[in-house]
Structure 1
Amino acid sequence: MARWRNRFAALARTGLPEAFGCPVPDAERIWIDEQLIWLADEFGAQAFQGPVVLPTAEFFPEQYQGTLEDAARLLDRVAGYLGVESRRIDLEVYSAAQLPGVAGHYQLRNGRPVISIERGRLDRAGSVIAVIAHELCHDRLIGEGRIDPARREDHERLTDLLGVFLGLGVIQANHRTEFSVTGGGLRVSRLGYLTEPMYGYALARHAWLRTEYDPGWAAHLDLGPAGQYHRARLYLDTQG
């Protein structure tokens, strides 16, 4: 932990410009580095050493047909990867008209965590996994009393970063931007609060901290996130 702190402190002081190849500006780079230290303090460095969860049958072996029961099974899986007891969590769906533009929602109802997913997403397993991961990370931060969202305006971004820290970053990055065909043509939607370049940098820093120089999981990144990841990795390999 001390080694990470010393290396991050040195990087923060240098303020190396984006011209060196980092996909994010200094303010975002420093925020990610500082919050990864905070997360390591909160959850322990061992939490950072778990497997990187991939959208493969190894991690999600069950058949998925888009039912609420299927989503509940994904919740069980993702909860296990994130260190959450799924039996504590209630899962429900809502219509797009009820919460326009909202992919998922986390709340405490009578002291019990409730995760809600927009019904139209149920037919996309990857999207469901990404939404569940984000909302379960809310539970780890807010439900466990680690942060007060009213006091942290960056709490949504921190929630996404916790997903990267705990190993769900590949799936989250791949579903940061989603495309679907509707009656009106191509629809673009965005999940989460980290930008694609921020995901790329956070994943590259994740690998760098774990001394993974050519991690196999990077091959599972989609084209956009992969480009940001490799740019960030080159930056970190040359600048530290």
Structure 2
Amino acid sequence: MFWRTSSPLDADDEEWQLDCWGWLLKHFGGAAALRKRSLILPTRAFFTPSEERGHAAASHYFRQVAAYFDIDAARFNLVPQEDSIDPVFGPLQVLQNAPREPAGTFSVSLGGAMTITYNPAIVPKPMKLITTFAHEICHPLLLSVSEEPPGGSEMEEFATDLAATFFGFGIFNSNTAASFTQYRDTATGTQGWSFERQGYLSPAERAFALALFIQARGQGVQEAGEYLDSGPLAYFRKATKYLAQTPSISSDLLAAHQ
């Protein structure tokens, strides 16, 4: 008996994402432009490593990310945020609920000057840094569209998350959606694992977007599988199987935006 794979998303989330894909296709080149986009991989073929540290390294990666959007990096002021507060002051002193800086921010002045900030703590983590820059560069692109994304202005950040995958950064987007890291608390003498989430879309939503991007282009499934972490890979495989069993999802979407 043939068993159909259910969607990895609930009905409302899938409907919104497909509507948002349609919105992005409508305003950014349609199906023809989407098919020509590259699946950006975390390899030296796409990003040359930086031999410097700190802001120089961040600027090095920012220029490379901007180039994939065909945007001059010099149009932005790239600014490091202030260092986050270390919540551990000593063996018996821990600051509760210490504020944490976002991975990145985008702002534009009344005069039109655009500024992107980044958390210096993620500079040694190119995957997170590149994902952050891709997300923030998507902001001015989406703001250039007079029509609000599906769901209105309150869904702007979610649409920006999706846009990063739409422009080719789906592997980066999926691998940084959530992470577990080992930690040691010197104040209490305990150790364990901590959870961190970056961005707005869930891991399942990002994997669905990546699978749809690849199906629409007709290539890249094997490449994506090679570079996805184990958690995102499981979501991606389910989304890929679901879309393969329902090819009308991508075909109808592309047909409407030729």
| Alignment partner of 1:223 out of 227, 230, 251 | 230
Quickly say closer, same or farther: Cα 1:112–1:162, change in 2 above 3 A: same
Matching residue's letter, 1:117: Y
Greater Cα offset, 185-194 or 218-227: 185-194
2:100 paired residue number: 100
Quickly say closer, same or farther: Cα 1:189–1:65, change in 2 above 3 A: farther
| Alignment partner of 1:84 out of 71, 82, 97 | 71
CA distance in 1, matches of 2:123, 2:173: 16
2:33 paired with 1:47: yes
Matches within 5 A, 1:1-240: 20-45=5-30, 46-48=32-34, 49-63=36-50, 65-94=52-81, 95-97=83-85, 100-109=100-109, 110-142=111-143, 144-146=144-146, 151-184=152-185, 185=191, 186-212=193-219, 214-240=221-247
CA distance in 1, matches of 2:147, 2:100: 27
CA distance in 1, matches of 2:51, 2:198: 21
Which structure is larger by alpha-carbon Rg, 1 or 2?
Answer: 2
TM-score by length of 2: 0.78
Give 5+ residue unaligned stretches, structure 1.
Answer: 1-18
Greater Cα offset, 114-123 or 154-163: 114-123
Query: Could you report, residue by residue, the CA deviation over 1:34-63 in whole angstroms, capped at 9, with x for unpaired residues?
Result: 111110110012431211111100001233
Question: Which structure would you say has the larger RCO, counting Cα contacts within 8 Å and 6 or more residues apart?
Answer: 2
CA distance in 1, matches of 2:14, 2:152: 22
Greater Cα offset, 181-190 or 77-86: 181-190
CA contact (8 A) 1:89 1:114 kept: yes
Shift of 1:188: 2.0
Quickly say closer, same or farther: Cα 1:130–1:213, change in 2 above 3 A: closer
What secondary structure, in the 3-state scheme, does the structure 2 residue paired with 1:153 have?
helix
Give 5+ residue unaligned stretches, structure 2.
Answer: 86-97, 186-190, 248-258
Alignment RMSD, CA only? 2.3
Quickly say closer, same or farther: Cα 1:182–1:202, change in 2 above 3 A: same
Give the 4+ runs in structure 1 shifted more than 6 A: none
Identical residues among aligned pairs (%): 25
CA contact (8 A) 1:207 1:215 kept: no
CA distance in 2, matches of 1:63, 1:102: 23
1:10 paired residue number: none
CA contact (8 A) 1:66 1:125 kept: no
1:4 paired residue number: none
CA distance in 2, matches of 1:82, 1:43: 11
Query: Could you report, residue by residue, the CA deviation over 1:142-189 in whole angstroms, capped at 9, with x for unpaired residues?
Result: 2x3445699511111100111111101111110111334444243321
CA distance in 2, matches of 1:118, 1:99: 13
Matching residue's letter, 1:217: A
CA distance in 2, matches of 1:59, 1:80: 11
The structure with more helix, counted as a fraction of residues? 1
CA distance in 2, matches of 1:213, 1:89: 31
Number of residues paired by the alignment?
Answer: 221
Shift of 1:139: 1.8
CA distance in 2, matches of 1:116, 1:73: 14
